[in-house]
Every structure is written in structure tokens, then in C-alpha cells.
Amino acid sequence: MVANKNRIPDKWFEEILNVATEWIVVVNVQGEILYINKAYCEFLHTTVEQAIGRSVQEVIENSRMHIVTQTGQAEVASIHFIKGNEMIANRYPLYVDNELVGAVGTVMFRNAKDWLAYSEKIQPLLEELNYYKKKLEHESESKYSFQDLIGDNERFLSAKQLAERVANSKSAVLLLGESGTGKELFAHAIHQASSRCFFPLVRVNCASIPQQLLESELFGYEEGAFTGARRGGKKGKFELAHRGIIFLDEVGDMPLQMQSKLLRVVQEKELERVGGQKTIDIDVRIIAATHRNLEEMVEKGEFREDLYYRLNVIKVDIPPLRERKEDLPEIAYVLLKKLERHFHRPNLKLSNEVLQQLQKHSWPGNIRELENVLERAVNILDGQTILLSHLPLYLQDLEGGNQDIKKESKGLVMTEKDEVPSLKDVVAQAEKEAIVKALKSTNGNKQQAAKLLEIGKTSFYDKCKRYGID
């Protein structure tokens, strides 16, 4: 008698199902409805009597209940479109004595009003998620092809042809060249011409990421790995580049400790997240780039020899602009076309005097410096033709040009008819020359160069960006 008093009456179960589980439907292995609650029928504009015994596909649009009875696999938190609404459905197989006898399905929302209230809360999050997803996909695409690599110089063509030949290889590529020579463009072109072009090209500037963050950026981290770690953890750049290509720019600035961890990933094709205990297999091709002399760094113990040979399977040496000045007019033309689109200024031209003057410069900042010079000229241009007067001061009087401003070791000397140069231009030129000289004396080490100039690292990077010095 006690057991009967504590037992829930059978008549209660249907009401409990109506109240507790929102909408519910039960089917047999043939996909025929054995039970469906009244609330679900009201939404579907039918009745319990009309639904019982019919195929679930006839009563509920886009139903997958019959599939669950075939596969025996649960489908949890599945998006289910019913009458133009996105419902969240759960579908579970029903086993009795280890035999699959049917399936039970539930929908989280009892009526459209509940769904709309939820939708208003979740829709902005979905839109934001889609925005960042599309942004990530766009940033992971290659933007340049080998057709964008302009020039007829013999050394440049040799480097370009080698890069094209090895584009489909799985081997690592090491791009060598001064800052601004176009190493990243080569990486983009290799990615686009390879069989990995349908998968991401993930770019990492090893010099711009603080040392303490570099490991988590490259290899990711698990939840709770450190203070401030994102809930659920985070994928690293290598995981994001799976089946694609990772471009390690300025790899020569990578700390020795990180070089050891990178070597293991290159050798074993697997990684461990920060704070993680399991290994993750990856399929990533590496393209590394640097403007530093890695062989000298190996001799000094600043770069691991074993990592150097792992990265230096295919070496592509890109010549600086000063060694391929015959390509300068064509490069300048392409850059002007790019600026035309950016500034909506059609039919931009260079005067013959400007072309002659540009040929005289040594271009320590290479193509990036040339682009910055042309962009500055377009900003102050009134017509369509760039003249000598539109160039920066340090380019206007190279090797005894027509201007009256002359450089001497002690400073600037001007004739009486000269206009006084702005202090801003004078300071900018002095800063640029000092930065270039500091980088040369430190073999391209930016942190040492910043210390040599007695300025902060952040300020140093800002000035490099401003003056087109990578």
C-alpha cells in the first residue's frame, strides 16, 4: 500500500509532459507518431487525434525523427526550421531491453512568442559571430598572386620562378630579403598557387607579439591556463592554419625558448596548447621570412641551428630595390594604380624629372618606402602629375638636383631664395635616418635598436610604421 501511495498516477504523466518538456513527440521505428502533446499540435495547426498514427514527416516539416530511428544516434541542440522559425530540437533514440523501438523528440520553445523573445536576445550575437567569421575567412585568404610580383630584373625573376616551382611542395620555404622587399607578397603568391589555397593562410609577425604572449598565440591555450584565459580556451595560429599555410614573418626575432617549441611542432607535426595535456595533430606548411642573417645568428648562438635547417629547405632570396632599379618605373606605375583606387584619383602620372630623381635614391625602405613616398605625393597633389615639389625634402635634392636645399654633414644649408623647410619635415628625416642606421648597426634587431636610440619599443615600432621601415 505504501508503494501505491508514493507512485505517480498514470493520468498525471501526460500533464507532466505538457508542463515540463515543452513540445514532445514519440515515434516508432517506422517513424509513425505514437504520441504528441497538445501544445505541439496547436503550434502545428492540427490535433492529437489527427496526428497519431501518421508519418512524422507528414505532420512536422523538416523532421529528422525517422532518421534517428534508423541511425540510433541522438541529435542534441539541433536547429529545426518549422513554419519559418528556427527552433532548437533534441532527438533521442528509445531503447527497451537493448532494442531500438523508436525515438523521442522535444522542442525548447512552447510557442512563437517565446521563440521571438529568445531570438531578439540571440540575434545580435549571431550577427556578430557571422561578422567575425567572415572577417577571419577574408583575412585568411591570399590577396596576391605571382602576377602581382612585378619586375624583369634577373635576380628577381630567378626568385619568382623558384617560388612558383615549389608552390605545390609540402616543404618549408625561407624568404630572405630586406624589409619592404615584398616577402609577404611572395608568401601570398605561393599560397594562392598551391593546392592549399582553399585552406587558410595565417600570418604571424613574430617581432610584434610580446614574448610572454607568443606561445599562446602560436599554440593556443586551455581554459584556466593562466589569469585572464578565455573560457573554453583558444585555438592558436597553428590550429587555425590546419591544412593550410602559416607565414612566420620576422622569424629571426623569435626568442630562443620559443624556437625550441617551434622545432618540436615542425618535426612532430603536433602541438600542445598552453596548460593542455593532450597533443593535437596538425597539417601545416610553414613559410618563414626574415631580413636578418640567420647563418650569422646561428654562429652567435642566437638562432637554433636545427631549426634553421628545418626552415631553410627551400630558400628564396629577394633582392632589394636598389639592386633592381630598372624595375622601379613599372613598380611605381602599379603602386600609382593602387593609389588611384584608394584615393579615387584617376590618371595619376609621374613627371620625367621625378622618375630620374627616384632612380638616384638608395631606397633603404625598399618598395614600402616607395609606396609611402608616392602616397604622400598624392595627398598634396593638386592636378594629376607628380612633380619634384611633391616629393619629400630628402628626395628633392639628391646628387646635386635642381633644388637649392643642400645637405652637409653639419645640417641643412639654404640660400636666401629658399623657403624654410618645415621643422616637422626636418625632424622626420632625421628620425628616419637614425632608425635606419640603428637597425643596420644591430643587424635588424628592433629591440636592440630601440635601446640604442633610447626610446621605448612601442614608440620605435610606431615610427618604423610611419616611415615605412619594417
Q: Are residues 275 and 413 in the same domain?
A: no
Q: Are residues 451 and 305 in the same domain?
A: no
Q: Are residues 408 and 428 in the same domain?
A: no
Which residues have CB under 8 Å from 194's CB, separation 6+?
167, 168, 245, 285
**CATH (domain of 85):** 3.30.450.20
Range(s) of the domain holding residue 176:
146-319
Q: Which residue carries 577571419 as its cell?
A: 136
User: What strand order describes the sheet that includes 285-290?
Assistant: 201-205, 245-249, 285-290, 173-176, 314-317
Is residue 31 included in any domain, yes or no? yes
Is residue 180 included in any domain, yes or no? yes
Q: Are residues 301 and 158 in the same domain?
A: yes
* Percentage with pLDDT > 90 across the chain: 53
Q: Are residues 218 and 329 in the same domain?
A: no
CA 433, CA 396: separation in Å to the nearest integer?
16
**CATH (domain of 366):** 1.10.8.60
Q: Are residues 89 and 227 in the same domain?
A: no
**CATH (domain of 430):** 1.10.10.60
Q: What per-residue confidence (pLDDT) applies to 18?
A: 66
Q: Are residues 372 and 427 in the same domain?
A: no
- pLDDT tens readout for residues 418-433: 445 566 677 778 888 8
Q: What per-residue confidence (pLDDT) applies to 402?
A: 38
Domain boundary among 70, 89, 113: 113
Is residue 121 included in any domain, yes or no? no
Is residue 358 included in any domain, yes or no? yes
- Average pLDDT on 379-405 reads 75
Straight-line distance from the first to the last Cα atom of the chain, in angstroms, rounded to the nearest whole number: 87
Q: Does an H or E element contain 219, and which?
A: helix 211-219
Task: Out of 148-162, 221-235, 359-373, pick the least confident.
Answer: 221-235
Q: Are residues 172 and 295 in the same domain?
A: yes
- Average pLDDT on 55-64 reads 92
Q: Are residues 157 and 300 in the same domain?
A: yes
Q: What per-residue confidence (pLDDT) applies to 81?
A: 82
Do strands 280-281 and 270-271 pair parallel, antiparallel, or not at all (unpaired)? antiparallel
Q: Are residues 36 and 109 in the same domain?
A: yes
Number of domains making up the chain: 4
Q: What per-residue confidence (pLDDT) applies to 254?
A: 93
Q: Are residues 234 and 160 in the same domain?
A: yes
Q: Are residues 287 and 175 in the same domain?
A: yes
Cβ(27)–Cβ(33) below 8 Å: yes
- pLDDT tens readout for residues 277-328: 899 999 999 999 999 999 999 999 999 999 999 999 999 999 999 999 999 9
